Structure 1
Amino acid sequence: MHLSIPDTRDFQDENGSSYTAFNIHINGAYHCTVRYRQLHHFHEQLKKQFGASTLPPFPPKRLLALSQAQLDDRRTSLERYIQMVSQDTSIAACDNFNSFLLNAQQESMQQISEPVVLDIYLMNGHKISVNITSTDQTENVLETVASQIEIPDEHVYYFGIYLVKKEEGDNCIVRKLQDFESPYISLKAVNQEGTHRIVLRKSYWDSSYDDDLLNSRVTMNLLYVQALNDVERQWVLATKDQFIQLTALQQKGSKRDYLRLVRTLKFYGYIHFRPCITDYPEPNTLVLLAVGNKELNFRIQMGTDQYKEGSFKITRMRCWRITTIYPERDNNSNNKDDKPQLEISFEYLLSKDKLQWINIKSSQSILVSMCLQAMVDELIMKKQGKRIKRPSDRVRVSRGDYLSRDNKSPVLTSNQNLSHSNSEPNGLYVYSELLENEDQSAIDKAVDSVKKISDKFANVSFKSSRSGQNLQSVLENNAFEEIGDEDL
């Protein structure tokens, strides 16, 4: 999970007093705006649950008004705090963590809790309309969809709901929706032009889980629809003869046989990304990137329909990080094209005694990182003999003891009226403005954040270095736990 606090907003309370609030971005997208005292209250709740010694230090209170330099220092310190807290899996999964972020999203959007109809799509465009509450969290929505289309309880969490953007005739995955957000609010925030939708698709990586789904007509149909879409968009590679076989099976309606064949083909179950730039094997190499089957796959085009391919196993990645690269400009430069870029870097065990950092510049760096983390989590789960959770395993998130921005009003409910002062514009307007261009927002706003393989806290430190004309601010994780060396 990638959290950052890239900037702040100024408000006035009902007494006319000014205060500053902090914009929290999660996984490359704006999520909410909260005050210092809200985060402090959140910290106190975590202390009661986990103990002070488990948590990183929280930025101290100050009696006097903060200067701009002190305010920026507080923003950076709060960012470091939420990054470190989110890296502890037990904290990130707890009720206090999820309810705080869910309530903060609702308050920031000024969304009342009311009955709504939400459209969920399959990969073939089929629409499922479900009756939910506008503030229902992601898992509640997923379970509602599963109940409506009769997915067996033991297979509900084999699937997930994703935010998808339609562009150039294709559907581009933006991100998987997390449990600390409301799908209705998240979709409403970005969908002013009708370019986004919520899609149901499988959320596991190991194709052996397919076997569990073939005995149910509903789940087999869901797999089949997704496989058809992946073949159509050439996410799965097939020879001419294999494609003819698949077409024949599709025309016969032999869904089970179609799935058995498509599972044998290259890149089945992978997610593909836009072309990007890497420094491996040579600087400024244009690659096609795909993630799946416990690997990060590179394809370098050598000629028409000819590719050189490389595979990086997740079991040999020591760690990875997200970096925002800011271009250096001289006083005479007014080039508006010199925008910050996102870069994902991973330290890879090329041979038994050789570790090397490999860097990839991509606007989808955060999505790549989330896919890598999901594969790691699934691999660890299987090694520990655990199974994919079921609805009965869920810890139901309550709305919790949430401290609102004005320190007295509760989270909005359906029988309360919304009021918007001149100093605080309508929540939807603010939210949409912050997400006007989601890809560029991820590049401009995401700050340095590290994903680690272990589930322990790490000793972290800021480092800055100059590389060519770029200033790279890197937050590195210097402690990790190797999850396996069976590929050596």
Structure 2
Amino acid sequence: MIHVVIPSTTTLVERSDGVTKYTAFNIHINGWLHASIRFSLLHKFAETVRLKFDSRFGGRFSLPEFPPKKMSLSRLDGSALEERRVKIAKYLQTLVQQAEIVRSAVVERTFLEFQLESYRPASSSVNLDVFLGDGSRHFVRCGVLLNTRDVMKVLSETLECDFDLLCQYFGMFMVRERREDGRGSNDDLLPVRLLRNFESPYVSLQMANQRSASRGVQYKLQLRRMVWEVRAHERLIECPRIKELLFKQAASEYSSGLFSACNGETADQLNSLKEQPHAVDRFLRLCTQQSTYGYEDLGVAECELPQRPANRIEASMRVGRRQLLLSCPKSGQEWIFRATRIRIWRISQPSSVVDPLLFQFEYLVGKDHFEWITIHTDQAILLSLLLQSIGADILNEQYEASKEAARELVSESDIKMPSPSPSTSTAHLSYPRDEYRNYTPYAPSNGATNGGAPIPEIIAGTANSSFANEITDDDL
């Protein structure tokens, strides 16, 4: 999933002569400035995509039209330039709905080139600092041109761990110190961004720190756990290097108070096992037995719940164990939202750009009864990406279960059934895909209102109807 907006344009100077000016479009992806790109490069990209994917040229998709080259941007008046900005943003937002296109080498490479064109790094090779789950620093020598997956590949070789497992159960995050919120220890890092394959981790980090320097905020890169079902730990413990990474983060989270033991006796056991080098397996297994373990703490947010429609509640927000937890420290109340009961979610920008984003999801609260939950948070896009990852985890589990069922069916058929004749029809099993494909933006019609109030501009949304299609009594 990619969230794309182009909120503004900027005037830049040609590097070749230092005099000639041109207009560039500021492309923000997943809530962060990705690149400032001139129209000619965007037009060239659209032509490449059209020739490769458009159904009119033998492709599989009916693509939107990109704004034509009518005249030079320097001769466009303010309203014409604004119209072009809106059309380009709409084109990109429509394009990224197609997961096959977004994940193609053409799009990933071009978006990476856009970032490099905008930043222009001075060196082609750098020492990249990647922090592990306990806050320890790990040096990675890599090329500036490498995207996130390539950097993860180099990191896996440096850590001597399985690359596929690392990519499946860990992610490259941009983080900052949590103590800026007055919570956690100095070594506790708050994730604010999940890096994707269309960007260079080095360039993304440099651009973020350039923009945050005036606020005194320093971002870092950190490898963090993305294990949404604690049962997966049992498989991962079999891999020594992956086990070590899980231990580092679990021990750090326990020391920082991000999860706690269920009772005093268990707390003593965790404290003891944490200090024993040969008790890592026992420590991790005991961690998974604690109900507060396995969550990604995204900080504090303001929430609007159906039970309290007139009041906003300040709550800590955690994602893990295939659910979203909202906890109110003042009242001690906690609300649990299971991913399998979320039908749809969307992200929107309030009328005031200084206000946090709105994350809204439709949740099954009773049989055939859904209600909207609203969260006001700057972590809306990261929350969306983590829920997408949980969905991919669930669908992948279903896929593996389907394969196992198919193997058992074939095995039984080999024993009990005669070989089919050439005319015998064959039933084909339909497996769920390994990640979300039904990504749908929600855009209100012109002049649409919500109880007399204007509906805020929708940035993007994700449909998740497959989770709530078949609800059993156990789910209610």
Q: Identify which of 266, 283, 301 aligns with 2:329.
A: 301
Contact 2:299-2:318 within 8 A present in 1 as well: no
Match of 1:88 in 2: 98
Match of 1:6 in 2: 7
Match of 1:426 in 2: none
Give how far 1:325 is off.
Answer: 1.2
Report Cα offsets for 1:300-334 as digits up to 9, x if no partner.
2354xxx222211222222111111124xxxxxxx
CA distance in 1 between partners of 2:371 and 2:442 (Å): 21
Match of 2:356 in 1: 341
Structure 1 or 2, whichever has the larger Rg, is 2
Q: Identify which of 192, 197, 206 aligns with 1:179.
A: 197
- Helix, strand or coil at the partner of 1:288: strand
Q: Give the 3 Å change call, closer, same or farther, for CA 456–161 of structure 1 in structure 2.
A: closer
Contact 2:347-2:461 within 8 A present in 1 as well: no
Give how far 1:482 is off.
Answer: 2.3
Match of 1:135 in 2: 145
CA distance in 2 between partners of 1:189 and 1:456 (Å): 28
Q: Identify which of 237, 241, 244 aligns with 1:214.
A: 237
Contact 2:173-2:221 within 8 A present in 1 as well: yes
CA distance in 2 between partners of 1:476 and 1:150 (Å): 38
CA distance in 2 between partners of 1:257 and 1:382 (Å): 25
Say whether 1:225 aligns with 2:260. Answer: no
Give how far 1:476 is off.
Answer: 7.1
Match of 1:275 in 2: 300
Structure 2 runs not aligned, ≥5 long? 56-60, 180-185, 403-434
Match of 1:358 in 2: 373
Give how far 1:62 is off.
Answer: 2.2
Match of 1:424 in 2: none
| 1:390-401 matches, cutoff 5 A | none
- Helix, strand or coil at the partner of 2:456: strand
| 1:27-426 matches, cutoff 5 A | 27-52=30-55, 53-63=61-71, 65-112=75-122, 114-157=124-167, 158-168=169-179, 169=186, 170-191=188-209, 195-238=218-261, 239-253=263-277, 254-280=279-305, 281-282=307-308, 283-303=311-331, 307-327=332-352, 339-385=354-400
Contact 2:3-2:460 within 8 A present in 1 as well: no
CA distance in 1 between partners of 2:318 and 2:327 (Å): 8
Give how far 1:206 is off.
Answer: 2.2
| Aligned residue type for 1:56 | P
Identify the range of structure 1 (103-112 vs 168-177) with the bigger mean alpha-carbon deviation.
168-177
Match of 1:392 in 2: none
Identify the range of structure 1 (37-46 vs 23-32) with the bigger mean alpha-carbon deviation.
37-46
> What is the TM-score normalised by the length of structure 1?
0.77
Give how far 1:104 is off.
Answer: 0.7
CA distance in 2 between partners of 1:57 and 1:461 (Å): 20
- Helix, strand or coil at the partner of 1:326: coil
User: Which structure has more RCO (C-alpha within 8 Å, separation ≥ 6)?
Assistant: 1
- C-alpha RMSD over aligned residues: 2.7
Give how far 1:225 is off.
Answer: 0.5
Give how far 1:240 is off.
Answer: 2.3
Identity of aligned residues (%): 28
Q: Give the 3 Å change call, closer, same or farther, for CA 27–459 of structure 1 in structure 2.
A: closer
Report Cα offsets for 1:175-215 as digits up to 9, x if no partner.
12111111111222233558222111223322232222212
Give how far 1:461 is off.
Answer: 4.4
Report Cα offsets for 1:9-68 as digits up to 9, x if no partner.
123546866432110111111110112222221122122222244322323332473321
Match of 1:427 in 2: none
Give how far 1:96 is off.
Answer: 0.9
CA distance in 1 between partners of 2:76 and 2:401 (Å): 49
Q: Give the 3 Å change call, closer, same or farther, for CA 477–231 of structure 1 in structure 2.
A: closer
Identify the range of structure 1 (468-477 vs 238-247) with the bigger mean alpha-carbon deviation.
468-477
CA distance in 2 between partners of 1:386 and 1:93 (Å): 25
Structure with more of its chain in helix, by fraction? 2
CA distance in 2 between partners of 1:154 and 1:453 (Å): 19
Q: Give the 3 Å change call, closer, same or farther, for CA 57–229 of structure 1 in structure 2.
A: same
Give how far 1:245 is off.
Answer: 1.1
Match of 1:335 in 2: none
CA distance in 1 between partners of 2:251 and 2:128 (Å): 25
Contact 1:4-1:79 within 8 A present in 2 as well: yes
- Helix, strand or coil at the partner of 1:181: coil
- Helix, strand or coil at the partner of 2:466: coil
Q: Give the 3 Å change call, closer, same or farther, for CA 21–154 of structure 1 in structure 2.
A: closer
Match of 2:24 in 1: 21
- Helix, strand or coil at the partner of 1:273: strand
CA distance in 1 between partners of 2:297 and 2:144 (Å): 32
Q: Give the 3 Å change call, closer, same or farther, for CA 62–17 of structure 1 in structure 2.
A: farther
CA distance in 1 between partners of 2:374 and 2:151 (Å): 37
| Aligned residue type for 1:315 | T
| Number of aligned positions between the proteins | 411
- Helix, strand or coil at the partner of 2:275: helix
| Aligned residue type for 2:102 | A
Give how far 1:173 is off.
Answer: 0.7
- Helix, strand or coil at the partner of 2:64: coil
| Aligned residue type for 2:372 | W
Say whether 1:472 aligns with 2:456. Answer: yes
CA distance in 1 between partners of 2:361 and 2:259 (Å): 25
Give how far 1:273 is off.
Answer: 2.1
| 1:437-452 matches, cutoff 5 A | none
Contact 2:343-2:463 within 8 A present in 1 as well: no
Contact 1:121-1:198 within 8 A present in 2 as well: yes
| Aligned residue type for 1:300 | C
Match of 1:483 in 2: 467
| Aligned residue type for 1:247 | N
Give how far 1:237 is off.
Answer: 2.6
Q: Give the 3 Å change call, closer, same or farther, for CA 456–131 of structure 1 in structure 2.
A: closer
| Aligned residue type for 1:483 | F
> What is the TM-score normalised by the length of structure 2?
0.79
